[in-house]
Structure 1
Amino acid sequence: MKLSGKVAIVTGGGGGIGAALAAGLAQQGAHVVVADLDPVRTGQVAAAVGGIAVAGDASRVEVLKEMITAAEANFGPVDLFFANAGIGGEAGIGESDEEWQRILDINLLAHIRAARLLVPGWIERGSGYFVSTASAAGLLTQIAAGPYSVTKHAAVGFSEWLSVTYGDRGVRVSCICPMGVNTAIHHNALAADDAASQLGANVVAKAGRVLEPEDVAAITLAAIEEETFLVLPHPEVLEYYRRKGSDYDRWLAGMRRLQHDAART
């Protein structure tokens, strides 16, 4: 899909990968609605890219409807939706159902709710693009961070399902699966008080180069132009994924060793 003249919504657009995506889209001539919880940062990014700001929780249907209405009123029908908002959640298995529900809402159900609102119109028009910011954790796993790993696997699975189900009806899908990126989620985990959160973040930091959000955005937008499903800003993830699929038990044993070794350092 060519981006010039297209209308895009970017959730989690107040910083990190989302802000970089918004800037990259604008540079290529797209019209952008920037959405995030923080109204100040959201407004600043929107102003910088000549877009529209919507402050609110991207997992809430009424906020998603507000984004779509703002896009249509100012630019026209939505062509691309970037389900980029995400949280890291607790380390370990998760201490409560409430915490699980919170991360499920943001990292997964927000994607599903947005697709419910947009896909019927895309099918009718014969064109639309859904972009999910998942994680390498959704293909491999994440040391220590149970809720994060589970929800990112689910985000990848939902993206796959969308592509399989609607790909022949004009709906394109891309799923972004980076490792370490220089974002608030990564830094918050590194600076966390609990050792488990730090353990997971340190493993990610040592697994490969920590990319800048602008790098991830550039790779993602290039993949969208080519209509590529799996976007791997860290190419080595593909080799790790192949090893996992070729011998699952060996891979699980290797991940346990990685966890053990990281805990000792």
Structure 2
Amino acid sequence: MTSVKMLVLAKSYKNGGRCIAGKISEDQPDNKVRLGGWVRPALLDKQGNATAPITANEYMYIKGGFLKVLDIVDIPIHASCEVSGQPDNFVVKPSQKWSKHHHFRADCVFNITDVPTNIWLDTSTSSNQVTKAYVDAGGVSQSLYLIRPVSLKVTLLNEYDSWNSRYQKKTHASFFYHDVFYDKISITCPATRNMLKGRYPDEGEEGVTIELPDGDEYALTLSLSPLLESTGMHYKFVATVFDKSGSLQKDYAA
């Protein structure tokens, strides 16, 4: 295989670039598509691991314009890879342009959700992370899910970050899935952050927890990070938030 055709279900913030991911897409008659497993294009980092974020130089299309969530795109494959905690990754070649085929209807996202038993539930630690031991024991068969949460809430924070010696705005999600409560999961979805950018507390003030306007009518792309060596943990992220009207990704996308 020299390329992957993919429905884009994440274009989230990651270390100055983007984490882009989606489901393999196969064209069908009558402008329909058949979707397969998850994939995540990545660049090689300095250690030769396929975990580096994608830059605008890659996700700018060969005919101009930039990749958007829900685009169906053709991405050249440079190499396969093995990444602990992210078995969905493949390597793209820097500066090799991608091409767009179609755009997927926003309301159809709710027809393609996954139904895992749980979201990488490592009971030895908090619900927003998993241990290296959990991954090493085979607890992660895929590092991406598209799910329907229950009782989704967003907490907006403006806390002092001692590592960077400055205040930093943070966006966390909490929700129930199959009666399990998941909490303090960082939201890296650009559209959600843009929609809420005027609602963060001032520096040092208490966090603000809000419900999004459509109640339980949301779908989330959830992503598991590679191992962070300094903590020995893999972290969970809300990479994309979808509403049924599509307005969130249309009006606030970045």
Structure 2-normalised TM-score?
0.28
Q: Which is richer in strand?
A: 2
Q: Which is richer in helix?
A: 1
